[in-house]
Structure 1
């Protein structure tokens, strides 16, 4: 069996990754240094990192033996890692702008558990990276006949089918609905605060002096101040939306969802390219989301939870099946990827509408606390918190009217939200646990909550739970799901 090395320039990318955390101190040393020889001592550490990067290139090998990937590292202290292809749940390829210049890619092979990837290769030629991805896709099967010396000679793969491709206008719409500009603003504030903690407060104070000085010299009244405040708010919203569109353009340009056999592959990015793939059976749960801006543009987004290593979930795992698409396209994708679930024919069962007050109740102490604090500090202005109780009651009624659940032989689904609507669903075979919970208030009201746990769930996703069911109905549903799970083998 022939083994392969990393790309000859891999040492450079490893060195750059190691130096990333030292970039700011090194730049400060070079720019603000006073020429003292003692200031050059940190450069010794840079030299050590460079030598270790070259050492990694000469001592790293990988190859394929049957249905497993072999990773060999070290010279004096050697290690051999055998990774069965069945254990690899996700293959992630990353190309930064520098990767694309050299025609290479960084590869991570991820499993369902653990804190780190099963294997991380910095870096491979793009051809080797794609061939390795194909080998994983086919569980490492090597042609039976002919010379098997070259492990990266991949056999014919089924032709990939494009399920979704976002044109430029859809990517810009995604920027409008995502409001990711706050990320850019937050990063800018954090960066400026590193130079001087008083920089931002001083800028705001100076801006306030200029604005109020100008307003005072022109004898502005309340209407003028209100108009100016509205104009500034509109300008801020516009700037945030433009930043969101630019960020979406960088991250989602060329977004393409393809299907090859039972494996899904997503590729996206303008300057840096991301390519990640996972088997359809690794998908644990689905989330369909529709915010206010989504409804104005007649769009939705479809996300999935996949079982991958914990620290790889957010960035490199297959998470977004459709960042933005029409409702018809989202329904088509769900029907195609879950053909036996009968998504379009779900019989939604509403929760009792009278339970709206239980959604409203948690907001009462917070509103009362805010009213007391504001009233203690500003007097009668604290009464302005009271109308919020009425608004939250209206919102709770609307949430209760729309909340519902649906269960069939293949799928369990819940829906909720009012301004921002969502649908959360999972195949019954993918449920990890079904628990029935009764709080003191549930026992008082004769209700119960059914919690349905799946692997790979993120904290930002809506919980998969059915709330405020009559206790008898909740126990019957719990028994049905428990029996169904007991009769079927657990699938990952």
Structure 2
């Protein structure tokens, strides 16, 4: 593709690319200038040099952003997305349409002001994302999405014909009915060779309900009765429908009807209630980040405000009451930061099912839209944070094949819901993984595995505390840390377990955060059984499970299994199945 034949992005890409390069330098430069202004040190000439250096960096960043915009061209032709980019090093990329898995969009503050979006294109392999369009108009983004799906005219010809009456169009291995994808190739498969003509498949990919059949009455959301359909046809809002027209949504949100012309059933939409935003951010990681940011800010206070000495003030205070007061203040400010982060990340969180795709929308300052094909989901991970347990709340994550930027990265499917809502939620959106963690028959680990969970970290902390006791004041506090680590190891042992039922392997872990991983046997890429010398002596082993996710896959490990159980699971998965009920201490030839 010649550079003169392709399209350019919106000119706002120049500003956004420049700001991205300057982002890492802005905070140090601001701190440098502010500290100089407060301290009144140095000559005016020194300040001018600092300003000159900062201005040169800004101008250089904008020049580089302009060159990137000027040399970036793209086009959809010959069944592929072709991109040419690069300033010093020219790169050409060709992505076949049949390999495109997801198109994610996001809108920052500047994007919203100018009516633009950022688009990321991902395939099953490679570096994530394979292509990023920093600034496209909404109409251009819609055209690009339709072109990559084979629905838009490219070069004066239609890539694929889409029937308005529900006729399926086969384009690049993806069958589409209207705007909703009806089928995707499974992991490791190439483009679909043939699909039956006629009506599209059922809207709920992977569901046991055949197309056109009624959904089971036990479903959390039954089909809408005729009264609700009449109300929708008359243009009345959902709230004006007759009482009992639709089952209430158990998440405290509202259900939005999405009624394509080809789908008689309404598609589910789940929204995060605003009240749960104050709890969604209260995770161990967020609190740890909040505490780190708080102390980092206090450490910089000496430079910005020379008269303010927070750590010197803390050193002069002593006593248990002061310590408890300071601990409460730190937790309170960390909670405020965590809640603020939760509101920014999860405001307006919505997940909906469109044909065979899950569409997730979230964000306050930056609106992110993620599309996940249901058939690409490899596993579901349910987590319960320490603070959530008294409220019986949990978060749902999914591991999707070919999706994610890092090894082991998962996508948040819903940030917070009640435990009794998990099974109906999963049954409606991804039925293959529908399960209630409390109802999974987990098997505990053998008793001899306890010391492997309790001893290593507490022993190291106890040894270090013994040395610190003689050399440093308050070194005896290390023994308390060792005792807490031992208690955490015991809890981790008690929570660890595995279960095999319905062709699925479930693993449970627990330390500060409880986690349950649900994996169908056919989704497992491979299993590995390993033993160290101590495990061989005790007849134990560690099981490592690998899934197709991200550039390097996703891996999960459970230690302390009996060797015979680990071998049974290994052989069962190797034959594309898992033994129905592997019993510890029993070797089975599969």
Q: How would you bin the TM-score normalised by the shorter chain?
A: 0.7 to 0.9
Check conservation: 2:497, 2:509, Cα contact below 8 A: yes
The equivalences for 1:331-350 within 5 A come to 331-341=423-433, 343-344=435-436, 346-350=440-444
Check conservation: 1:15, 1:53, Cα contact below 8 A: yes
The equivalences for 1:438-477 within 5 A come to 438-456=531-549, 464-477=556-569
Q: 1:126 maps to which residue?
A: 138
Check conservation: 1:142, 1:155, Cα contact below 8 A: no
- Any idea what the Cα deviations from partners look like across 1:13-59, whole Å, max 9, x if unmatched? 23333343454577668998638689747756654544453444444
Answering whether residue 388 of structure 2 is matched by residue 294 of structure 1, we say yes
Which of 5, 10, 13 aligns to 1:10? It is 13
Q: 1:170 maps to which residue?
A: 276
Q: 2:73 maps to which residue?
A: 61
Structure 2 runs not aligned, ≥5 long: 38-43, 162-175, 181-257, 260-266, 579-590
Q: 1:319 maps to which residue?
A: 411
Pick closer, same or farther for the CA change 1:162–1:192 going to 2, 3 Å: farther
The equivalences for 1:198-277 within 5 A come to 203-208=309-314, 211=317, 225-277=319-371
TM-score for the superposition, normalised by structure 2: 0.67
Which SS does the other structure have where 1:89 is aligned?
strand
Task: Tell me how far apart the structure 2 counterparts of residues 468 and 312 of structure 1 sit (CA, whole Å).
Answer: 28
Pick closer, same or farther for the CA change 1:427–1:231 going to 2, 3 Å: same
Q: CA deviation at 1:332?
A: 2.5
Q: 1:216 maps to which residue?
A: none
Check conservation: 2:459, 2:482, Cα contact below 8 A: no
Q: 1:483 maps to which residue?
A: 575
Answering whether residue 111 of structure 2 is matched by residue 108 of structure 1, we say no
Q: 2:504 maps to which residue?
A: 411
Pick closer, same or farther for the CA change 1:19–1:361 going to 2, 3 Å: closer
Which of 283, 286, 310 aligns to 1:180? It is 286
Task: Tell me how far apart the structure 1 counterparts of residues 461 and 440 of structure 2 sit (CA, whole Å).
Answer: 38
Task: Tell me how far apart the structure 2 counterparts of residues 403 and 377 of structure 1 sit (CA, whole Å).
Answer: 38
Pick closer, same or farther for the CA change 1:36–1:299 going to 2, 3 Å: closer
Task: Tell me how far apart the structure 2 counterparts of residues 377 and 371 of structure 1 sit (CA, whole Å).
Answer: 10
TM-score for the superposition, normalised by structure 1: 0.78
Task: Tell me how far apart the structure 1 counterparts of residues 94 and 452 of structure 2 sit (CA, whole Å).
Answer: 53
Which of 489, 494, 504 aligns to 1:401? It is 494
Query: Larger helix proportion, structure 1 or 2?
Result: 1
Which SS does the other structure have where 2:178 is aligned?
coil
Task: Tell me how far apart the structure 1 counterparts of residues 329 and 28 of structure 2 sit (CA, whole Å).
Answer: 37
- Any idea what the Cα deviations from partners look like across 1:172-198, whole Å, max 9, x if unmatched? 221334662543553465466568679
Check conservation: 2:405, 2:550, Cα contact below 8 A: no
- Any idea what the Cα deviations from partners look like across 1:319-341, whole Å, max 9, x if unmatched? 10011111122222333344245
Task: Tell me how far apart the structure 1 counterparts of residues 307 and 517 of structure 2 sit (CA, whole Å).
Answer: 43
Q: 1:328 maps to which residue?
A: 420
Q: 2:166 maps to which residue?
A: none
Q: 1:156 maps to which residue?
A: 178
Which SS does the other structure have where 1:258 is aligned?
strand
Pick closer, same or farther for the CA change 1:422–1:266 going to 2, 3 Å: same
Task: Provide the alpha-carbon RMSD of the alignment.
Answer: 4.2
Q: 1:377 maps to which residue?
A: 471
Q: 2:185 maps to which residue?
A: none
Check conservation: 1:166, 1:256, Cα contact below 8 A: yes
Check conservation: 1:165, 1:257, Cα contact below 8 A: yes
Q: 1:97 maps to which residue?
A: 109
Q: 1:218 maps to which residue?
A: none
Which SS does the other structure have where 2:74 is aligned?
strand
Pick closer, same or farther for the CA change 1:25–1:386 going to 2, 3 Å: closer
Pick closer, same or farther for the CA change 1:148–1:5 going to 2, 3 Å: farther
Q: CA deviation at 1:257?
A: 1.1
- Any idea what the Cα deviations from partners look like across 1:43-100, whole Å, max 9, x if unmatched? 5665454445344444433232354222244799975422123333332322211111
Task: Tell me how far apart the structure 2 counterparts of residues 200 and 284 of structure 1 sit (CA, whole Å).
Answer: 54
Check conservation: 1:89, 1:307, Cα contact below 8 A: no
Check conservation: 1:179, 1:240, Cα contact below 8 A: no
Q: CA deviation at 1:368?
A: 2.9
Structure 1 runs not aligned, ≥5 long: 213-224, 487-492
Answering whether residue 114 of structure 2 is matched by residue 20 of structure 1, we say no
Task: Tell me how far apart the structure 2 counterparts of residues 375 and 37 of structure 1 sit (CA, whole Å).
Answer: 51
